[in-house]
Structure 1
Amino acid sequence: MRKLPLNTPTPAHTARGLAGHGAKHDSAWKHVSGQARYIDDLPMPEGTLHGAVGHSEQAHARIIAMDLDAVRAYPGVVAVVTARDVPGHLDIGPVFSGDLVLADDTVEFIGQPIFAVAATSHDAARKAAKLARVEYEPLEAVVTVTQALEKKLFVRPSHTQKRGDPDSALSTAPHRLKGEQFVGGQEHFYLEGQACLAEPTEDRGMFVHTSSQHPSEVQKLVAEVLGLPIHEVQTEVRRMGGGFGGKETQAAPVACVAALLANATRRPVKYRVSRPDDMVQTGKRHDFYNTYDIGFDADGRIRGADIMVAGRCGYSPDLSDAIVDRAMFHADNAYYLDQARVVGHRCKTHTVSNTAFRGFGGPQGMLVIEQAMDDIARHLGRDPLDIRKLNLYGPGRDTTHYDQTIEQHVLPELMELLEDSSDYRQRRAEITAFNQSSPVLKRGLALTPVKFGISFTAKHLNQAGALVHIYTDGSIHVNHGGTEMGQGLYIKVAQVVASAFQVDLDRVKVSATRTDKVPNTSPTAASSGSDLNGMAALNACEKILEGLTDFAARHWSVPESAVEFADNQVRIGEQTLDWAEFIQQAYMNRIPLSSSGFYATPKIHYDPETGTGRPFLYYSNCAACSEVVVDTLTGEYRVLRTDILFDAGRSLNPEIDIGQIEGGFVQGMGWLTTEELVYSDDGRLMTTGPATYKIPAVSDCPPDLRVTLLPDSPNREATVFHSKAVGEPPLMLGMAVWSALRDAVSSLTDYRFSPPMDPPATPEKVLAAVTASQDWLRQQQKEAG
């Protein structure tokens, strides 16, 4: 077995900052100094107005009458628009219809925009929007997943994946367990809220600065709402102050409202959504209701499984079809389910339309099987890690329930390495001894894996474009379809380009993402930003290099094999030219120094009719070992230590990747512990800001956090320099904390009872799990006489 190296030596290169080496984020100093410009920092054009919306106060109702006279009369108000003022499309559903830019006759969630206001100040617009008098006829509202399941109310048809005969396997299995869980949603809580600046152009079009992960979708929907051809609208994204999926589709309605107001007034309009309005009006991570029925043998090996995942989609489809699909794809997480059925429901409720969030349904699907792993272990009196390792995919047990073959078995070795480096067995013994002697404080330990598929489940999104220019001084300009939300995509693509030409990283500049440079872009999501845009940029570089190599061979009369680009130079036979000098020579000889590039992910396909295919090009793998301590009198707890081992393949930038892993883990830990969305019975969100919604603070993070990249594990697929995706998989590492909390509480029963603990595991829920465990123990003692 390989041992983890204490550090990995870095080869010396004259060209600095190439792919595979650490390089600081291209905007890091701007972030720290406050010079990074976001939408609200942009200089406002002369005459800029400010937007706001008035929203529904009913979860489901018909609008009988709407009096906006007081809104129009408020000082500073310049324009008010309703659904009847929309010149083009009213429906801006990103994939399926159902999302209205402004509600017309019926509202379907509390917070749904019903009219928009343009005023001379942000405060005036917001205050005016509150003065509307709306008369409603209330209709029956369905608020929860279970209510929707009872009524069979769905935004899209349900879907089933099946392999073998799970019913027979379950009925004949030596052991069988059933369970359920309610998985909470999650607010994106990006530092920069939803915002955009729409400016009418001189030729009836619109230019939109948007904080969006999907600028092409913003471009398309703004054009449709205004009744314009797409080429009349341009969008630009320099950076976002966080996105996490919340700006994949949710940025478009904000841009459309701003564009409608700008079109009505022929003046620029900035629409910055306040935090409470943002939380009420925009979608979140889907909360899920999951069930499992698992059959297994005396060793704990799964023989059959019947799993159901049901997501609360909200009032419209948005991206829920693909999100529930991904929950189904990941209901196995890292485990071979043998005979299996997975059913997914897309539940319609009269709440905000939930949307993409880091992991895109995968985390919610994984939780059901991870709960089952713990429950099987308690049932058999085994260590949960042993049950997990026993059920991992491996040779001969390598086909998923949707018929994709696992081609690179990373997890068995990765988990062995982490088990060893984290001292799992020794700490397990120490924790068991501690719990036996500590009546109040109980410690817990868990090591959980992650297998996450990489590709958009919507096949057409797996494409990207890029544009590369070399200027006559040797400097290089890059534009691509990916967006920068703090994750380091720009610097990674710059490193790819620098590596292609073998020049210093500081010769390369990546500019703001714009739809007039690279068209028809896919969203920066699904952990595919580097895979897609890095390959597109590399394709552009290879086209330029082909021409440069041909020129050098012809001009200096050498074979092409004698032309080498290295160390900021071009070696041509026996002579060597400085990079900039060579580029000047190429320009003087009229050699193309610019090219577009394109990449489409190969091999992927999926047939929803049969529930089979290869939806993912490859899988990203990682694991985490977390230790917690729980106060059984209050339910309060602390995370003491977390060890993470992550397979990033040949990492494009180890420093950036480790930062992403740390951040993803903490965000996942927050989702499963402190971040609780609370709704009233009538569907009103009660947690609308940091006073009532608790994201993890520095004090919540484990004081001992150890992150290591798995060495010597290049991607077998032809990804950019054989790297592997890093964006989303780390979030699911937070499952180790949730499982460790259950482990700590289970120690109250000598690990014989698996306590219910629906995430997020707030102190109240941990205390409820403690009470349930104590009740179980008393019952066992009573039955024993």
Structure 2
Amino acid sequence: MGKNMTQSASIKGGVNTDLRHDSAIKHVSGRAEYTDDIPEPIGTLHAYLGVSNVAHATLNGIDLEAVRAAPGVVGVLTAADIPGHNDVSPTGRNDEPVFPTEKIEFHGQPLFAVVADTRDNARRAAERAVVDCDVLRHALDPIAAQDAGYPHITDNLTLARGAAEAEMPKATNRVAGRMSIGGQDHMYLEGHIAFAIPGEDDDVIVHCSTQHPSEAQHMVAHVLGVPSNAVVVNVRRMGGGFGGKESQMNLFCVVAAMAAKKWNVPVKIRPDRDQDMTATGKRHDFVVDYEVGFDNDGRIEAVKGDFAARCGWSSDLSGPVTDRALFHADNAYFYPHVKLVSQPMKTNTVSNTAFRGFGGPQGVVAAERMIEEIAYALGKDPLEVRKANFYGGEGRDLTPYHQQVEDNILDRLIGELEDTSEYQARRQAILEHNAKGGIIRKGIALTPVKFGISFTATWYNQAGALVHVYNDGSIHLNHGGTEMGQGLNTKVAQVVAEAFQVDFDTIKITKTTTEKVPNTSATAASSGSDLNGMAALNACDQIKERLVAFAVEEWGVSADEVEFQPNQVRVGSEVFAFGDFVKRAYMARVQLSAAGFYKTPKIHWDRAAGKGRPFYYYAYGAACSEVSIDTLTGEYVIDRTDILHDVGNSLNPILDKGQVEGAFIQGMGWMTTEELWWDDKGALRTHAPSTYKIPLASDRPRIFNVNLADWSENRELTIKRSKAVGEPPFMLGIAVLEALSMAVASVADYKTCPRLDTPATPERVLMAVEQLKGA
């Protein structure tokens, strides 16, 4: 120890470098372990949900005699078996019972759980229940719910600035319309699953696939009637989440834990895909009534919008989701006078929940529809109208929620993409192609995204991390975020590697567990790297400060003479291998462990006033998409997509690029093919991959160019000046809808906005073509 070493050029796997996902090889080789791969102890039992086959009814009783008598059945759980509170509402509204006692609220609602020796026996037994109920009328969509006098499922929100009511009648031009925006199933590869192992006293350990371990911990404790310290929730990784595992996993964790404690054996619950899709929430459908006033140059003068949402039978996260739809109903555009109102409607459907973008995409679509309306009314290129209405300059930088837009880079971003995608030349060629008539019509659109980053619930903007440096120099990293394939663990480990100046392989990334980092926020709102990266860096800085103090005392040098270099530490004129230096510190009884913490600064929000700074910063992006449609069938292909997206100073460019690509495809699917359909009995009929169409590899753009704005750097002090990338690029898929709209409009010489509802399936495209032909 203490021998001089030659400094290497750099560490392997620090920040701002391309580094593959730490579990990539495990993913593609099948060696990545998920909850269902955990070895089952002898005696493990399996649970399955018994669900309603009506959409709305008074519940008189359930005859479970045949269920209990079925082969392999150990017992049944009902509301009467709940030792604590019969509620798993994530917002504490006490409106989401584990099992209902008085009313059935949607087709597919869990009514009880069967516990048996095998999953198949439990599933078959659940079908034997006889439910006694009096069927009531039901409402499945927000407009039907309004007509039936259904209440708001949670408090609505109004965002207002200026005098929209007074100024709208004075507008030079006015257009009003209605747009239906479809929902979306999360369609993760790994469905919901929970595996509970009972311990002594009140203790229970729950392994599950959740984006919010602390909430799952709280819910299990709440339902069991025990303190949170009796419940441990573990998450090694998820096979996808997209928001669907933020609150919806609570029910499954609770059922597994209840059964495990009741029979004192391990219990696993894993619904099949059909039950997973019918019993858990989705992206909110919206019906938006809008009115926009504008001048002859296409500049917006006033906007009014009413956003009615299908929220489902309980509040879940519908309050913040419908709030966020309003926050993004401006997208990239300044509204001089604006009034936006949310209508979160109760419906007799599964309770809708978080989904990538959290209501933001629905708001952005509405904004783009209004831009499109203006363009067709004035005979202009929609991109020209977009540019005319961008935020920018004094007096045009205040959002409807009164936050100043200080970091707008859209002029440069859009300009670059317009050039690199050759938008103008291609648009002219498309106009010439369509002018010839013919069956195949083409369209092109270039659309922007401005997306605010932070939880709108201010208290969620915090994170913790735990870092141990062992006396051989190896490092153990734990943080409150969850890994669902997005590469969060890799990015945070890169931050730690950079902080200590050690190779990435030095760091062991461990499962997320409530035992190590308490009171964590959901891995959502695109804030995973922002929050957990900063918390981990805080822990590293604490340890480094102790190590520097040790070196100063031990070698009699100044703090400036202690430097962490690649895989080594320089102390004065001596250089030590990192592991050797740490060993010396350990021998000197230096604490080599730290709990880090971070809370996002500057943000505040007054919901009652509709004013504040709910977002720390904005992320920007743009997509240019070209499509071809068959006017005889409505079928279409995406010929080309060019994307330029802003991730600030990227922590890991290759992972960020992958997130942009995946988000675009998922957003494209939401806009085009992913259709949710309920029959007149209230049953979801698109409940499996056989009936619900997500994009395939063959649906991707034939030419797909994706680039990051490598010149961008976050003005705010985020982790290494990076920007969030999880949600913002999802809205780039809207470019496909806008391009389809242009192609459809060509059959009527672009005189009329086609007003495509989403998803713009081939059927909807064909109907729009026929309608314009007949106009």
Tell me if both proteins adopt one fold, taking TM over 0.5 as the criterion.
yes
Task: Give the match for residue 347 of structure 2.
Answer: 349
Query: What one-letter code is carried by the residue in structure 2 that aligns with 1:554?
Result: E
1:310 maps to which of 308, 311, 330? 308
Cα distance in 1, alignment partners of residues 80 and 693 from structure 2: 39
Aligned partner letter, 1:637: Y
Q: Is the 8 A contact 2:155 2:344 kept in 1?
A: yes
Task: State the match for 2:640 in structure 1.
Answer: 641
Instruction: Kindly indicate whether the alpha-carbon contact (under 8 Å) linking 1:487 and 1:660 is maintained by their aligned counterparts in 2.
Output: yes
Runs (5+) with no aligned partner, structure 2: 1-7
Distance in 2 between the 1:720 and 1:157 partners? 35
1:409 Cα deviation after fit: 1.3
Aligned to 1:632: 631
**Native 8 Å contact 2:49 2:111 kept in 1:** yes
Contact 1:148 1:154 in 2 (8 A): no
**Segment of structure 1 superposing worse, 638-647 or 257-266:** 257-266
Q: Which residue of structure 2 lines up, in the alignment, with residue 135 of structure 1? A: 132
**Paired residues of 1:359 and 1:728 also in contact (CA < 8 A):** yes
1:43 is matched with 39
- 1:7 corresponding residue in structure 2: none
Residue identity opposite 2:591 in structure 1 = P
Query: 2:504 aligns to what?
Result: 505
Partner of 2:5: none
State the 1:481 CA deviation. 0.3
Q: Give the conservation status (yes or no) of the 8 Å contact 2:150–2:347.
A: no
Distance in 2 of aligned mates of 1:700 and 1:524: 29
| Alignment-derived partner of residue 366 in structure 1 | 364
State the Cα distance separating 1:591 from its structure 2 match: 1.1
Cα contact 2:49–2:271 (8 A) shared by 1: no
1:198 partner letter: A
**Is 1:541 the equivalent of 2:540?**
yes
Query: Is 1:31 the counterpart of 2:30 in the alignment?
Result: no
Q: Residue in 1 aligned with 2:86?
A: 90
* Cα shift at 1:157: 2.2
Please give the secondary structure, in 2, of the residue aligned with 1:324: helix
For structure 1, which runs of at least 5 residues remain unmatched after alignment? 1-11, 777-785
Task: Tell me the SS of whatever aligns to 2:47.
Answer: strand
Q: What residue in structure 2 maps to residue 434 of structure 1?
A: 433
Aligned-residue offset at 1:419: 0.4
Map 1:222-261 onto structure 2 (within 5 A). 222-261=220-259
CA contact (8 A) 1:159 1:344 kept: yes
What is the rounded CA distance, in whole Å, between the counterparts of 1:566 and 1:403 in structure 2?
A: 46
Contact 1:71/1:77 (8 A) holds in 2: yes
Distance 1:63 1:752 in 2: 54
User: What is the distance in 2 between the residues matched to 1:567 and 1:678?
Assistant: 57
Cα distance in structure 2, aligned partners of 1:339 and 1:154: 26
Q: 1:55-454 to 2 correspondence within 5 Å?
A: 55-95=51-91, 96-150=93-147, 151=149, 153-396=151-394, 397-454=396-453
- Corresponding letter in the other structure for 1:20: N
> How much has 1:710 moved relative to structure 2?
0.4
Report the aligned-residue RMSD.
1.0
CA deviations over 1:660-710 (Å, ceiling 9, x no partner): 100000000000100000011232101110111000000001121111110
Structure 1 residue 168, shift from structure 2 partner: 2.3
1: CA distance, partners of 2:759 / 2:86: 37
Say if 1:291 and 1:368, in contact at 8 Å, map to a contact too: no
Aligned residue-pair number: 765
Asked if structure 2 preserves the Cα contact closer than 8 Å seen for 1:61 and 1:107, the reply is yes
Shift of 1:557: 1.4
Identify the residue that residue 774 of structure 2 maps to in structure 1: 775
Instruction: Normalising by structure 1, report the TM-score.
Output: 0.97
- Note if contact 1:60-1:107 (Cα within 8 Å) is conserved in structure 2: yes
Residues in 2 aligned to 1:523 and 1:736: alpha-carbon distance in whole angstroms: 30
Instruction: Report the AA paired with residue 535 of structure 2.
Output: A
Kindly state the Cα deviation for residue 263 of structure 1 after the two structures are TM-superposed: 1.7
The 8 Å contact of residues 454 and 616 in structure 2, kept in 1 or not, is answered as yes
**After superposition, what is the alpha-carbon deviation per residue over 1:14-59, rounded to whole angstroms, capped at 9, x for unaligned?**
2010010011101001001101111111100110001101111111
Report whether the alignment pairs 1:665 with 2:664.
yes
Superposition pairs of residues 468-507 of structure 1, within 5 angstroms: 468-507=467-506
Secondary structure of the equivalent of 2:67? helix
Alpha-carbon shift at residue 375 of structure 1 (Å): 1.1
1:242-285: CA deviation from partner (whole Å, max 9, x where unpaired): 00000000011011111111122111101011000001100000
1:484 aligned partner, one-letter code: E
Is the partner of 1:279 in helix, strand or coil?
helix
Q: Distance in 1 between matches of 2:373 and 2:519?
A: 47
**Does the aligned pair in 2 maintain the 1:482–1:529 contact within 8 Å?**
yes
Write out per-residue CA displacement over residues 141-169 of structure 1, whole angstroms, 9 at most, x where no aligned residue. Answer: 12210022232521112221111111222
In the aligned structure 2, how far is the partner of 1:479 from the partner of 1:660? 23
Amino acid at match of 2:39: P
The one-letter amino acid paired with 1:344 is S
What displacement does 1:438 show?
Answer: 4.3
3-state SS of 1:577 partner: strand
1:13 positional shift: 4.6
- Give the SS at the match of 2:340: strand
Alpha-carbon distance in 2 for matches of 1:475, 1:755: 61
| Structure 1 residue 63 displacement after superposition | 1.5
Q: Is the 1:312–1:348 contact (alpha carbons within 8 Å) kept by the matching residues of 2? A: yes
Contact 1:216–1:520, Cα closer than 8 Å, also in 2 = yes
Amino acid at match of 2:125: A
Give the match for residue 622 of structure 1.
621
Question: Which amino acid in structure 2 is aligned with residue 458 of structure 1?
Answer: A
Q: Look up the equivalent residue of 1:68 and give its one-letter code.
A: L
Once the two structures are superposed, what CA deviation does each residue of 1:92-131 show, in whole Å capped at 9, x if it has no partner? 1010221111111211011111111110111000000000
Who is 1:8 aligned against? none
Paired residue secondary structure (2:667):
helix
Q: 1:452-509: CA deviations, max 9, x gaps?
A: 1100011111110000000111111000000000000000000000011111011011
Shift of 1:64: 1.7
| SS at 2:18 equivalent | coil
Displacement of 1:202 in angstroms is: 2.2
Residue in 2 that maps onto 1:760: 759
Structure 1 outlier segments of 4+, above 6 Å: none
For 2:405 and 2:698, the matched residues in 1 are separated by 39
Taking the aligned partners of 1:534 and 1:281, their CA distance within structure 2 comes to 34
Q: Secondary structure at the match of 2:157?
A: strand
* Greater mean deviation of Cα atoms: 570-579 or 300-309: 570-579
Once the two structures are TM-superposed, the CA of residue 578 in structure 1 deviates from its matched residue by 1.1
Q: CA deviation at 1:294?
A: 0.4
Distance in 2 separating the partners of 1:97 and 1:661 = 37
Deviates more, 1:74-83 or 1:259-268: 259-268
Residue 54 of structure 1 corresponds to 50
CA distance, structure 1, for counterparts of residue 157 and residue 513 of structure 2 = 37
Q: Is the 8 A contact 1:154 1:346 kept in 2?
A: yes
Q: Identity of paired residues, percent?
A: 54
Aligned-partner Cα distance in 1 for 2:564–2:466: 21
SS in structure 2 of the partner of residue 432 of structure 1 = helix
Which secondary structure state, in structure 2, belongs to the residue aligned with residue 94 of structure 1? coil
What SS is found at the alignment partner of 1:616? coil
Structure 1 stretch displaced more, 733-742 or 437-446? 437-446
Q: Does the 8 Å CA contact 1:624/1:644 hold for their aligned counterparts?
A: yes
Q: Matched residue of 2:450: which SS? A: strand
**SS in structure 1 at match of 2:596:** strand
The 2-side partners of 1:717 and 1:310 are apart by 34
Residue pairs, 1:482-631, within 5 angstroms: 482-631=481-630
8 Å CA contact 1:82–1:102 kept in 2: the answer is: yes
